[in-house]
Structure 1
Amino acid sequence: MRKSLQVARKFKQLVLLFSVFCVGTLPVAAQMNDPQADARAPRGGTVTEAEADRGLPVIANLPADRTTKSQFSERASTNRTLKNIPAEISSKNSFLAYIEIATGATLDVFGRNLFTGVPSTFAPVEGAQVNGDYVIGSGDEIQIRGWGMISVDVNVTVDRSGAIYIPRIGAVKVAGVKYRDLQGVLKQAVGKNYSNFDLSASVAQTRALQIYVVGNAVRPGTYTLNSMSTLLNAMFTSGGPSANGSMRRIELKRAGVTITTFDLYDLLVRGDKSRDASLQDGDVIYIPEVGPLVALTGNVKTPAIYELNGEASVADLVGWAGGVESAADMRQIIVEKSVNNTYQRLATLQAERGKMGDVLSSLPVRGADVIRLFSPSAVAVQTRLDKEFVRLSGEVNKSGVFEIKKGETLRELMFRMGGTTDVGYIYAAQLRRESVRRAQQLRLDEIATRFERDVDAAATARLSGATDRETIATQAAETERQRRLADKLRSVKAEGRIVLEMSDRNAELKNLPDLALQDGDTIFIPRKPDTVDVLGSVFQGGSFIFKSRRAVKDYLELAGGVTASADASEMYVIRADGTARGGNGWFSGVNSIAVNPGDTVVVPEKIDRSNLRQSIKEWTAIFYQFGLGAAGLKVLQN
């Protein structure tokens, strides 16, 4: 027992000793947990060195409680940082979840997107234009410049008594003066002592004010704002009403009195912010709980969940939604209401501007209603074409847009339009179709996406096994090269060309295929070229004059021959008609192939198959099949 008492005494002495040495930090910790600790702490005086030696806190003289220009900038920066903090409050209330299940659609609360990405709209910048109605107050910094019998160039701050001190003039009371009247007040004060002078006055720095946002806000709390801020600025800064907060009854309180009640629908629907009010230090913005909610869906411009503020009708809902959809305008509209989980018809009317209001105004709505406006005629159905047209251009005797007969073929149309001119090149005739272009582009995008995915997967696998810095740098450079190639592949756009598979350069109108034309087809007959292109791994690629006796090997010799990096066994020819021709196998042994005007000879590079360098070989098949030909390959060459 005695031993236990001795241990207890020693423990008590240790605790006392610890508190003596740590007493200097206690006020700081207390202030973190006790908001009134700062008020109890002494504001002036110092502690003697003896007291400091005993572990007592040293309290230095504190400056006056005034927000400086730099401090306001820091607070403004903090406010801007707060905007990116995600709301801890759930973005959905129970009614939103109920509507999602009842309608099968996700409806947003009307006006909630106004606060998306806030508060970029509110930026308390130092260079903001001061409004003429701005009221000067304690903490404002005023720049005064005078000339004539008195020379003045000073920046003065309005003190707590509402006055400023001007050298050789004295104190001038300016608190409560509107900015537009400030210059006149100062001139009057200086005119008591001087004449024949002039001066200008401007607000160099506005004061900071502290306001409180409480209730159902996304980020309730205390905010330090620019003194030119209004209720709306504070709303943007705090993220607006939460999922359970009202958009229609936002109150600004000052000294216990409600100064104004703001309805965000006035701003959203009519652009009216006349009930917005300037803030003063100590103001409280209170966001009450949300009012009755109703859902509007169907053929309206803004299907959403709307908040009621008193009595309302379907006409009000449609007005808030911006009216019916353009597709439903001037058509029959059916108004339905969900009753016992079943839509029941309330009214049937014609969607005519100015004539819907009377009927819709007679249909009241109440909280939790689900209203649907449905227009059967607004449902999109593919339109049947009675007449079809195609565009004919190039070296033809008749060019323009022409109506075609049902089932008319390309050959029949060309004969009906009088054929081509003397320089028209039937062999290279181009037929493009929009439906084909969309399908080709979809395929190109899918392949590019797969290529990018394979590049990333291969890069990850290679880097995971690399250890030395040189190998990692090499692999990273190779991956970057492949990604640039993927970006180039993304830039290739399908043309929708249908390959006509003509015989040779001597093809005539009668050799055109019996391919039925469709509405929107484009037919282009180019001028017969006199050149042949050579691309790829050759010493001097370019365009060379066509001569009928020349074969592929002759054009390769004109291009200086193939380089050491060329894969001669994979050479191929892209014909002017959009087809491709290789030798034995897929692309080999093409040296002796005859060439037509407008053809392109392609010599690919050797490819290291171990590292995804599938640049031309795998893509050329796609290009020529899609009718892209040399145009697509040039994208990869550049």
Structure 2
Amino acid sequence: MPGAPGTEPGTPGESPLDAAEEFRRFITGSLPEERLTRIERYGASFFRNPPSTFAPADMIPVSPGYIVGPGDQVRISVWGMVEGTWIETVDRQGTITIPRVGVIGVAGMTFDDLKMALEDEFSRYYSNFEMSVTLGALKSMKVYVVGNAKKPGAYTISSLATLVNVLLDAGGPDENGSLRKITVKRGNRVVTTFDMYDLLLKGDKSKDIRMMPEDVIFIPVVGPQAAVIGNVRRPAIYELKGNTTVEALLSMAGGMTPTGSIDRVQMMRVKQKEFRTVFEGDLKDRSINNLKKMQLADGDLIRLFSVVERQSLVRITGPVAKPGDFAIDSGRTTLRDVLGWAGGLLYYAADEVEITRVSVTPKGPKTERLKVNARRALQGDPVHNVALRMNDFIFARTVPDWKLYRQVTVYGEVMYPGRYSIEDGETLSSLLQRAGGFSPRAYPRAAIFTRERVRQDQQRQIEEMADRMERELLGISANELSAALTQAESNLLKAEASQKQALVAKLRETKAAGRIATLIAQPEVLKGTAYDIPLEEGDVLYVPSNPTTVQVIGAVLNPTSFVFDKRLSHTQYIRMAGGYSTDASPARTYILKADGTAMRVKASARGETPWVKEFNGGKTVLVEPGDAIVVPVKLSSYRGVRQARDYMDVVYKAAVTAMAIHEVTK
């Protein structure tokens, strides 16, 4: 039993390595030093999944030269002295039968001849009439596709089908089939030889004849082939016909791309079917290495390359309107030219421009820097308007310490809140004075001053602490696990390790506020003190109104806020919050002051804020409006990690501080 088309007996489903496939693999694998695009035979895509619109339509008008045959339906309408309509189908004898007119032989007539013959026959019996003749359903016919077709066989087609229609149905030539020598045999003679390249390259269908019953379409073996890759518009494998030159092949490939180079063309050729050779040439008309007129042989591969980039650029940066790279004529283009192309210097540019130049010397690269006056260069001063060389780097400088605006924000209980532009060295007291001072509702003691640079430093310290803690915890956990004697002890250690990881994750979630605890007071009080600090870009000052509350947070039964009463002590506030919880550490209770400082409640361990004399008449008051009474949780160190409690305390206090700031600013 023969195998399926395209397979060899004994290897079902495996495609044989035919000559065309071997050639395709040869050219695509011939240059392993770079990835090449996978190419195919030119014209193969035309037959791949052809749309159904290529099939001949039965409803299109019939041409005058259409040959009538058995199976065609003839529609005849007559009016005038006689009226009637007849629909007749041409029988196997090639005739139709019309009442009173008789049997008429029509097979082999053209459509024009059919109309004339019917008028003549009707004229023998009738006069003074008009006639309309059309064709209804058309006959079908059988043709044969043989040779190297993808789907050879017998095809039943419409009588309007042409050679190309049938080739599309048959899938076109296979890998071994020719696209350029397709013949149609009718009887014992060849009625046409069709070249698909005429259709694909020129749009010429003059030899796309209409098929007749029993026609045979023969696709011979493909002829010589050559491929072209690289910088051409249609890289592909082309079938050659007759004597074909490199120039003709490039023409079939659509010519070179705009970036293709005529300075180099590479040809690979198989010599005597023994070895492959490569030789170089070009496409220059008067060159002795010109390959344009060279005759191609079967299996040749032509490769074109892109043009070589020869850019002479300089780069300019800094305060110019359009910084970037600019093409120059090395040694002739001057600094003034490039400054002009870059839109000129901006108003805050300094006079001095630095040009960095790297020269090639026998000992290696040599770097030199030229400093010139840009203003004089723009005036054409030859001393400063220097000629530039390839790869020069031009750095236009700004005036010292240039920044268009430095802005800080003050909001809350000041007379004129908003964003203020500051000058270099401007201080906090100056900002408060420009903001009109505090409003009557202001509570400067709880003011919050934050700085972005400080926030970044604090955040970096938190991250470093988390990294250090993670290393310590992991190292100790590994040692403890390896020393575990029982499964229960091992499980306990694993649970502790999981808790430690959760602690590290919590620490990493801590976000620094960037707060600076400092004295915030009326401008005249603040001015001239150590706390009248210079402002920086992005500083933020928030002045709240009098909070009139005190928070009790931490290890108490009901953490909440209470109305401030100067008669109450910290212990009374804690009792109002339900007292200490079972995990509280009363001895470590402290007051988180509204100004960002902290104070221990134990008198012997209590510190004094340096600027406290500015408030409360110089007296130290333990609990004030906006303060938070913090009762820490009693923490136990993890086994083998003395620092664990300290780390947990850091996390706890960071959370408490954030909560207190939120309470003030909300």
| TM-score between both structures, scaled by the size of structure 1 | 0.46
Higher relative contact order (CA 8 A, sep 6+): 1
Q: Is the radius of gyration larger for structure 1 or structure 2?
A: 2
| TM-score between both structures, scaled by the size of structure 2 | 0.45
